[in-house]
Structure 1
Amino acid sequence: MKLALLPLLVAASLHAQVPGKPVEPPNRLPPTLANVAYGKHERQVLDFYKAESSKPTPLLFFIHGGGWVNGDKAPVNDRDRFLAAGISIVSINYRYSWQAQLDGVVPPVKAPLDDAARALQFVRSKAAEWNIDKARIGASGGSAGACSSLYLAFHDDMADPKSSDPVARESTRLMTAAVSGAQTSLDPKQLIEWTPNSRYGGHAFGFMDPKDRKSRDTRFAEFLQKRESVLKWIKMYSPYEHVSKDDPPVYLIYTSAPAIGQPQKDPTHTSNYGVKLQEHCKAIGTECQLVYPGAPNVKHKTITDYLIETLKK
């Protein structure tokens, strides 16, 4: 591959997987099962696309982006290619953080992340019925969906084997996660050191007017100032905090080259996030592939290439 083409390929991958910017046309065929409820809230629904196979298939578990304040499960990039490769797909909706904030969920990010875990457990509970291989599930998504995917990838298993609820007894562990434009940390102290003009993350912990979604990124200074008051939650919900040696491999792709400690044109999706997570993973002994324009040793040009190869091993 010519190096000059890499920025275009990276941009296409991120652009395709950030909600509101799909590059493929709307799905030509409806889901095999649409709006399957995995909880009681109207947003706790998922779509299932079944790959035809005589044996249990791997699964792409897709979490849409949109800053946890908007977005929808409908656009799934490269859907037909995954299905043709024998990989089934689940794409989920989840409670927005502003809805959680209005409902008194503390911190608000608990809702979308708990929903992602619950949806994954629900899907595993349907493995026999839907012909899914429980051991071969890879999460993906862009932006906030990427952050949610990494949270699942790095978090210890949230299964409760003693629960009376059979869904809660299912594992939340993944085989891998492959994401675009991921926020790898929700700690404002780290973010301001990595990228001085950082502005994202405060809404996850209630620094937002839930009745005005445009206020999402307007209170970062307050978030940083009051960091100590929410530090226990940062430790609970920031993907960076959960990395351990037994975690599955992850793949990250960004549209811009990193510049640690310098302001970024798009600080919410800067590859500075990826550089710092990769350094952290390397120190711990967890595999983390990082792709951005000009990145060295690129093994997989796109998320789709990576996931098909990894899930079909």
Structure 2
Amino acid sequence: MNIHRLPSALLTLCAGLLLLCNAHAKKAQAAKVTPDIANEHYGPHALNVLDLWKARSDKPTPLVVQIHGGGFHGGSKNTADPAMVAALTAKGISVMAISYRLSPEVTYPVHHMDCARAIQYARLRAREWNIDPARIGATGNSAGAGMILWLGFHDDLADPANADPVLRESSRLRGMAVFNAQTSYDPFVIKGWIGEATSKHPLFEMFYGLKPEQYDTPAARAQFAQASAVTHLTKDDPPVYAIYKEPRDPVPADAKPGAGIHHPNFGLRLKEQMDRTGIECTLRHVDEGADFIQEMTAFFVRHLLEGK
């Protein structure tokens, strides 16, 4: 086809579309800026690696740690959303994305301890990275979100007498923005909150290294409670912004095992407990038209930059 024979109006339209496509391509490319630090090891395992995007600032910046999902057996730091990175760094907040050890190689609490170590490592390197160690938050999806809540509500894991200088640092967070978070990993609690199908999700066997017939024992019950974020919630814990995308409808009794693992009831039960404790918990659903990145960025600006 000879483009020069096209009507002028069509040529103008084509040129406009080309400019628009180029603009979107440039925007996407800008959002995928190479990390300032890539594949740095925060621990001895091959998966104990991080990427860091530094916000440009003469003063130490807050930091948001991104912890990926994947059912504790998949995913990596490479799934960090470029738009999220761009939004936070534009506001003066640095971003660190991490990988961690996965099941079935490891079981609870190793995944959590890796994530805690990454936060502690960031504090150890805070001066070098121009990070304010008092202003660290975290964000993540699904399994990553569940671990973030666990870390945010858990007592500080710092061990001042440890021979490893990383483990002497604090693991505490100042704010958490989570997507599709499981607020409990107790199959018995989940059955009551959401339904039997959800309580039979196959991730639990891999996560705990247990068979279903071993669940109803005192040792397993204690482990389920310890692995659940809501168990550790106290009045001195940080605020939460949580958003869910699954329908609010009840999970059918005949649903396949695991259905509902991102159900909004996880967030409803969390908000009920946080409201009673007097801690800010913003609960949103994608049906409400929420722009997760915009709202999450505003949340971190308030709690990490403005200190509210």
**TM-score range, shorter-chain basis?**
0.7 to 0.9
Rg (Cα) greater in structure: 2
CA drift at 1:302:
3.3
Whether the 8 Å contact between 1:63 and 1:146 is mirrored in structure 2 is yes
Residues 1:161 and 2:151 aligned together: no
Q: 1:47 is matched with which residue?
A: 51
Q: 1:115 is matched with which residue?
A: 114
- Give percent identity, aligned residues only: 39
Residue by residue, what CA displacement relative to the aligned partner does 1:54-95 show, whole Å, maximum 9, x if unpaired?
A: 000011111011011000101322211111111111100000
Cα distance 1:293–1:27, how it changes in 2: closer, same or farther (>3 A)?
closer
Q: 1:303 aligns with which of 272, 296, 299?
A: 296
Cα distance 1:203–1:286, how it changes in 2: closer, same or farther (>3 A)?
farther
Q: 2:226 is matched with which residue?
A: 236
Q: 1:282 is matched with which residue?
A: 275
Q: 2:206 is matched with which residue?
A: 203
Three-state SS of the structure 1 residue aligned to 2:79 is coil
Cα distance 1:298–1:38, how it changes in 2: closer, same or farther (>3 A)?
closer
* Residues in 2 aligned to 1:97 and 1:34: alpha-carbon distance in whole angstroms: 24
Structure number having the greater helix percentage:
2
Q: Which amino acid aligns with 2:44?
A: K
Q: 1:29 aligns with which of 2, 13, 33?
A: 33
Aligned length: 270
* Residues in 2 aligned to 1:261 and 1:28: alpha-carbon distance in whole angstroms: 38
Q: What is the TM-score when the length of structure 1 is the normalising length?
A: 0.79
Matched ranges for 1:9-24 at <5 A:
none
Whether the 8 Å contact between 1:300 and 1:306 is mirrored in structure 2 is no
Q: 1:17 is matched with which residue?
A: none
CA drift at 1:164:
2.7
Whether the 8 Å contact between 1:73 and 1:92 is mirrored in structure 2 is yes
CA drift at 1:281:
1.6
Whether the 8 Å contact between 1:178 and 1:303 is mirrored in structure 2 is yes
Q: Which amino acid aligns with 1:80?
A: A
Q: Which amino acid aligns with 2:276?
A: A
CA drift at 1:289:
1.3
CA drift at 1:27:
5.4
Structure 1 stretches of at least 4 aligned residues deviating more than 6 Å after TM superposition: 297-301
Q: What is the TM-score when the length of structure 2 is the normalising length?
A: 0.80
* Residues in 1 aligned to 2:29 and 2:152: alpha-carbon distance in whole angstroms: 29
Residues 1:145 and 2:144 aligned together: yes
Whether the 8 Å contact between 1:257 and 1:293 is mirrored in structure 2 is no
Q: What stretches of structure 1 of length at least 5 have no aligned partner?
A: 1-23, 101-107, 208-218
Whether the 8 Å contact between 2:63 and 2:96 is mirrored in structure 1 is yes
Alignment RMSD (CA, Å): 2.6
Matched ranges for 1:260-279 at <5 A:
266-279=259-272
Q: 2:104 is matched with which residue?
A: 98
* Residues in 2 aligned to 1:145 and 1:169: alpha-carbon distance in whole angstroms: 23
Q: 2:7 is matched with which residue?
A: none
